[in-house]
Chains A and B, each alone.
Chain A
Amino acid sequence: MIIGIDVGPTRTDAALLAEDGAVRATAKVASVPDDPVAGVGAALAALPAPGGPVTRVGVGLRGPARAVVERRDLARVGVLRIGGEAARAVRPLFGWPADLREAVCADATIVEGGGGFDADEWTPLDEDAVARFAAGLAGRADSVAITGVFAPVDDAQERRAAEIVRREMGEVHLSLSGELGPLGLLERENTAVLNGALHRVAGTLADGLRATFGEATTVLVTRGDGSVMGLDHLRRHPGLGLGSSLASTLRGAATLTGRDGAVVADVGEHRIRVGALTGGHPQQALGARIGGVPVGFWMPDLIRVPRSGPRLEAELVEAVDRMQPAAGRLPLVVVGGGAGAVPAALPGVAEVLRPEHGEVAGAIGAATSPVGGQAERMVRVDARTDLDALLEKVREEARASAVRAGADPRRVQVSPVSRTPLPYLPGVALRLHARAAGPPHLL
């Protein structure tokens, strides 16, 4: 049996599923303010006895984003950027709200090292500078965020720097940017710093979930890219959970309808969130802000529509059309507690589906989402380039990233590599991106 639980701001939803995804029971309870784990426990208690061994539990949480917005329980972070001269022009945390910066930043520095567009452009890591910075942080920070220029393409220097920091500081939480976000240095660095700031919140959540479900159950938490990760991954990468509630709702809609391509409307108490699924994955967007800080997480692309008002139908129809990933007409799947507010037929929408149990789609998505990973790089293609080998490498990195997050290595599947041309370079230059997903490696 599989259990899925989705902790919302007012309600916590739960679902009990058979191994094949069939829904056996659902429950809704009031959320417990400021104690998501207690809400999870209450929702669990509201479900009937599973009637068989529970192999996995998937949980959707919203605590981390609130901690940033409310500046609560944030850890102090040492901010290390590896990039040398090439990274000095915009300093770490430039443009952050002063109070958040004050709450989070223990110290920041830039050391020599980092990569470039071509493989031969890497400069060596200044290991002594890393050691000096780490030694100076002792007693002032319990987390270190490491961001290397071009780390999403090659994270060897970030890993080396992490070893040095651990040698100097002992047990300390480490955030490596290459594991957290895509290319785009400043946003990825912000992501790594917030990730570090959230590690205590995440640790408390992970401990609480472990105590609730026991040592023998595989517990997974949802991520903003629509996959899930193990509790150990959550402890290291709490930031990856940001934006996950819509992502798991989209996944739930796919599970309930058996469609891997759809536009999904999640109807809440006050507003409707519209997103899209392609190939079973939530359609992603970059460029979100959390607590006033631009971050580089993968999150679902989203349009919000107010739930009431004279123009509800027109606004919803437009949002659905905007979310269509291509000219083909995908069906609209309506889920969420207020699904009844959406008319059974909408002009210009070919098909409206209202799956049974749609009111707990988030919990079902948490239960059924695969464990995921992503990889990317930028390449210049000329006559000597072995593009096939590069594509294979990106696929392999995506696969490895999913396995690190807790996927069963034998059953990971990798998407085709997307290729986006880069402007203003002679010849052809491409940004390559692949994602991988598979069922969890069970305890």
Chain B
Amino acid sequence: MREIKPEQLEDMARGAGILGTGGGGDPYVGKLLAQQAMREHGPVTIVDINEVPADATVVAISGMGAPTVSLEKLPAGTEEVTALRALEKTLNRRATHLMPIEVGGLNSMVPFIAAAQTGLPLVDGDAMGRAFPEAQMVLPALIGVTVAPMAVADDKGNTLVLQTVSNLWTERLARTACVEMGCSVSCADTVMRGDQLAESLVPATLTLAENLGRAVREARTAHTDPVEAAADMLNGVRLLTGKVVDVQRRTSGGFARGDARLEGIGTDTNRTLELSFQNEHLLARRDGEIIATTPDLICVLDTDTGEPVTTENMRYGLRVTVLGVPCDPRWLTPGGIELAGPRYFGYETDHVSLPT
């Protein structure tokens, strides 16, 4: 158990951006919201998974929608608690703990807003260990935890509680509602008992994000290699250091997809790496051979600064280093691969283990 102060969110947000694997939304606005909430209501207590009582009621708090929209239309800052209260009414009991649904990107910061406002402790762990684009892509689903009942709230005060037959329906209905509600909503869902957490959450990922952000910052200050610092912290494999020489984007079948080609520099001269991305970086081929796929993390970092390069910002001339980071092993079970493996995203390949 430890207390998190507003300043600590700087490092945590930096690390969460890297864990977003090119997507998840820039944690920047979420960080400002959380910092304002913490300045008004006090710091947030985060607790280890093994500190949560077995009979605790744990609720995931997150945002859904287009991060680009929320940079213009900021949240009211009340949506998270509104969603939580609507869910509690349906459950007929109060939450005792909150948790992040994903540590990658903006959703690492969103639960801090609700935790500051309610005073509830926040679990140090998350349901993905990275960022994924859809609601059903969570590890608790593998032990039968359902996303629904799910409460969705918008900035206008509308709420909606979904009771569904499957997680895929939850995603489908929530996404449609999200668009109608202004393309940016807050969600309370994935209700768990304390004794389910160890089996289904990736532990200590908020702490990991904070340590990762700190390592990158300190490396920059000390003029050592920030990418090396990130790789060490994540147990990551350097797939290529190079420059982006081509970026192609297309919208096909209602999805925005992209590919980027990198040419190696330094010790990687004469090697190439092709990245395929949608909302996140999902697949990497080196010299024509697939060497990394979702659900493993493909983190693209600016070689000089260690800052994450998002799929939106991929462009010609960037000097980047691509890291492959092993995902939580539960993602590699048949159920995990079905939810978030390469075929789900439309790539005709099996998962490929990272090179060592």
Contacts and interface: CB of A to CB of B under 8 A. Distances in A.
User: For chain A, what secondary structure do more than half of its interface residues adopt (helix, strand, loop), or is it mixed?
Assistant: loop
Contact of B317 (A88, A95, A121, A324): A324
A117 B183 CA distance: 7
Interface residues of A, number: 42
Contact of A89 (B36, B316, B319): B36
B73 A429 contact: no
Given A185-B73, A424-B64, A429-B183, 14 more contacts: A85-B155, A87-B76, A88-B76, A90-B33, A114-B73, A116-B183, A117-B69, A117-B184, A185-B71, A322-B318, A424-B66, A424-B279, A425-B179, A426-B176
Interface string B179-206: 1001110000000000000000000000
Q: Which of A90, A150, A427 is packed against the most chain B CB atoms within 10 Å?
A: A90
Contacts of B317: 321-325
Interface stretch (A38-46, A212-220, A226-234, A415-423): A415-423
A327 interface: yes
Interface in B155-196: 155-157, 175-176, 179, 182-184
Interface string A143-186: 00000011000000000000000000000000000000001111
Contacts of B175: 426
Contact of A86 (B155, B246, B251): B155
Interface residues on B, range: 35 or more
B23 interface: yes
Given A117-B183, A427-B254, A428-B251, A185 B66 contact: no
Given A326-B316, A422-B66, A424-B279, A89 B179 contact: no
Interface string B52-91: 0000000000001111110111111110000000000000
Given A323-B317, A327-B316, A424 B74 contact: no
Interface string B238-269: 00000101100101001010000000000000
Contacts, number: 131
**Which 7 A-B pairs have CB atoms at the shortest separation, nearest pair first?**
A89-B77, A421-B256, A86-B155, A85-B76, A322-B317, A423-B279, A117-B183
A121 B69 contact: no
A87 B157 CA distance: 13
B65 A424 contact: yes
15 contacts: A88-B77, A89-B36, A89-B37, A89-B74, A89-B78, A114-B73, A184-B72, A185-B74, A186-B29, A325-B316, A380-B179, A380-B183, A422-B66, A424-B23, A424-B64
B342 interface: no
B25 interface: yes
A406 B223 CA distance: 48
B70 to A, nearest CB: 9
Interface in B18-59: 23, 25, 29, 32-33, 36-37
A141 B317 CA distance: 46
B66 A150 contact: no
A423 B73 contact: no
Nearest to A121: B182
B133 interface: yes
B311 interface: yes
